[in-house]
Every structure is written in structure tokens, then in C-alpha cells.
Amino acid sequence: MSWDVELVCDCCRRPIELPYNFKDGGTYPIGGTNLATLNITYNYSRHLLQGLGIPFENLKNMTPEQAEPYLQKAINYLGTDADSNYWEATKGNAGYALNILLKWVKYAIEKNLSCHFEIY
């Protein structure tokens, strides 16, 4: 089981386009994607709650400006040292995933994009 997380444009309800491709998460297209969409395993649930201080699902509908302090706090607590096994429920794996979201948030803030998180 997993969450699908997207940072979506408020006007068109589609994931924002990033200026780079990435290949991360539980599933991703062959060759990666430049869309702000990430699959995160439920295995990280405990660490996400500890780091964020709120249930992960509470990021839903948050703007980048609202989500940034939660993500930064969690990354500071969890670190970003990912295990070679994506599925391992480690602090570093959870922090690594949140760091991807934080990069999206910083990009959206820098570009003044009107967007919010969707979590399915």
C-alpha cells in the first residue's frame, strides 16, 4: 500500500512541471518524470508522523507555503540518508521522500506558482 502525492496547479488540477526529471518512489515511469508526482510507501508511516508532527495525509490541500515548515522540521529530525532498500522503514528513507517534496515546494515558492498538495 502507498500514497500517491502530487503538487497540483490550482488552475488546471494537474501536477506542476519541474525543471528536471527524477526517478524516485515506489513506482515511477520508465525514464523518470518531470511532473511533481511521487509514490510513497505506507512503510514510512511511523517515521512520517514522528517527523511531521501531524499525520502525513494532513499535507493534503496545503499550499507550498503552508507545507514548507512541516517538511523542513521533519527532514531536520529524520535526515535524508536513504537505505539502498527503498521499502525499508527507516528514518532516512522517510526523510529522503519528504526532501523530494520540499524541493518541489521551494521551486513552487520561487516561481510563485499557485498550487497545493493532493494525496491519494
CA distances from 110 to 10, 58, 65, 69 (A): 16, 23, 11, 15
The total number of structural domains in the chain stands at: 1
What lies within 8 Å, CB to CB, of 84 at 6+ separation is none
Residue ranges making up the domain that contains 25: 2-119
Quote the pTM value: 0.95
What local confidence, expressed as pLDDT, does residue 10 receive? 97
**What is the spatial distance between Cα 22 and Cα 1, in angstroms, rounded to a whole number?**
22
Stated length of the chain? 120
Report the alpha-carbon distance of residue 79 to residue 109 in Å, rounded. Answer: 22
Give the model confidence (pLDDT) of 11-47 as tens digits.
999 999 999 998 887 777 788 899 999 999 999 999 9
Q: What integer is the mean pLDDT of 103-116? A: 98
How much is the pLDDT for 94? 98
Instruction: Give the chain's end-to-end CA distance (angstroms, integer).
Output: 11
